[in-house]
Structure 1
């Protein structure tokens, strides 16, 4: 009797290449007439060593998806994985450990402690975890973000672009499984924003980092390898090797604009 070849090894290989993935994820807030369905059965795999942008109109579910993938919010139904770790069902202690050791964050607000120097802010997550940076990797990160002559400065002595580069270095220095960036250029002028996006792109292409970025800006999304589009809590389209004009055209098509 001939047995059909198993697809399990292929599926396992696919999962092994995913830095993060969601499987049939639903997120529901409230109940009754006040119920809001933010995510409707979303399944997506975010490949290791790639820069993925998530886009959508306000209320599309893009930030909710990122928060669920990063373990910042729980899911109503479905499963979320970071690498080989299943987030669904992890307790507070397990989630805290995962976010500290496997995930990096970059937010629109720089979230730097004003009393600490740039160097101390960058090293803070490692210090909390009782770890020291790898010296060679530290030098690589600092030289890449161009902050060596600013390490002794406090946030108030740095420009907005420099502060966000500190936040980028802080996310990268622990070599996390994946970095989640939520509108990282939202508070920056175009020049500073471009510098941050180029750094994120470089960290993927040269260092193999995995980055997932939520943005509303087609130009910012064009720095990514892949763009995922959400509408009404569902993935409705995606682009690979995107351009700003291609992203804008896709947004217009999804929204019904001519």
Structure 2
């Protein structure tokens, strides 16, 4: 009997960093935020990035998203190489291929929820796909709040508006920087459930920076940074597994500091 060997299935990659270094300042004031980081973000998956304060997690996300230029190395979004793109190219990429969700909701107070959601498309001169818009609104659960302005919405509702705004243009990848940092636990759980359902039901790719083990447990994969390097990762995370991993990093950092003193 002949056995045919099949090649491994190649998972599509939405974003990747290749030997990325990020250095701020020079001389005695120099700070090395990232030290040769290489990672791939699988398409259609929810990836969380964690690490102690100063580990480089937000810097990594900003470099992956094209918000900050790398000192050395390469960054790709889909088939587009960000490294070397000019301002016009980066602006076009961020507008068409990337979505952003920040801790601060960044909603315009004079616009309604619907107008805030559709604003990036309006700026780009693109008409919304009404069927997809309705799908996003149904997923985020804001159908009865579209005519409300931000001041008429709770914090959780405002963040869900920001999430819908990030998704409505169908970006290649959505980057979320501490998206539940300003929310109470219930509102935070609502936002995280929405992000997870956007991945599982609609194939969205999400990269989230967080310090919260519970928030990280909503992800498919958690990548841990320390001192600008990737030092660990978890798949199928639970809050306890994430907490244990973070405590392990803290112990290593404390031991290192003690050895150097």
TM-score (normalised: structure 2):
0.93
In structure 2, what is the Cα distance between the partners aligned to 1:146 and 1:246? 30
Runs (4 or more) in structure 1 with deviation over 3 Å come to none
In structure 2, what is the Cα distance between the partners aligned to 1:66 and 1:155? 27
Cross-structure match for 1:121: 116
In structure 1, what is the Cα distance between the partners aligned to 2:130 and 2:109? 25
Cross-structure match for 1:97: 92
In structure 1, what is the Cα distance between the partners aligned to 2:53 and 2:106? 23
Cross-structure match for 1:194: 189
Find out whether 1:150 has 2:140 as its counterpart: no
Cross-structure match for 2:128: 133
Find out whether 1:65 has 2:60 as its counterpart: yes
Please state how far the C-alpha of 1:135 moved relative to its aligned partner: 1.2
In structure 2, what is the Cα distance between the partners aligned to 1:78 and 1:43? 9
In structure 2, what is the Cα distance between the partners aligned to 1:147 and 1:219? 24
Cross-structure match for 1:243: 238
Unaligned runs of at least 5 residues, structure 2: 1-6, 255-261
Cross-structure match for 2:161: 166
In structure 2, what is the Cα distance between the partners aligned to 1:109 and 1:95? 23
Find out whether 1:43 has 2:15 as its counterpart: no
Question: Which residue, out of 44, 52, 56, partners 2:47?
Answer: 52
Please state how far the C-alpha of 1:247 moved relative to its aligned partner: 0.2
Look up the SS of the partner of 1:79 in the other structure. strand
Cross-structure match for 2:24: 29
Cross-structure match for 1:109: 104
Please state how far the C-alpha of 1:155 moved relative to its aligned partner: 0.2
Cross-structure match for 1:3: none
Count of residue pairs the alignment pairs up: 247
Unaligned runs of at least 5 residues, structure 1: 1-8
Please state how far the C-alpha of 1:133 moved relative to its aligned partner: 1.1
1:33-76, Cα deviation, whole Å (9 max, x unpaired): 00000000000000000000000011000000000000000000
1:93-146, Cα deviation, whole Å (9 max, x unpaired): 000000000000000000000000000000000000001111110110011111
Question: Which residue, out of 240, 244, 254, partners 2:249?
Answer: 254
RMSD of the alignment, in Å? 1.4
1:133-162, Cα deviation, whole Å (9 max, x unpaired): 111101100111111111010000000000
Look up the SS of the partner of 1:59 in the other structure. coil
Please state how far the C-alpha of 1:187 moved relative to its aligned partner: 0.2
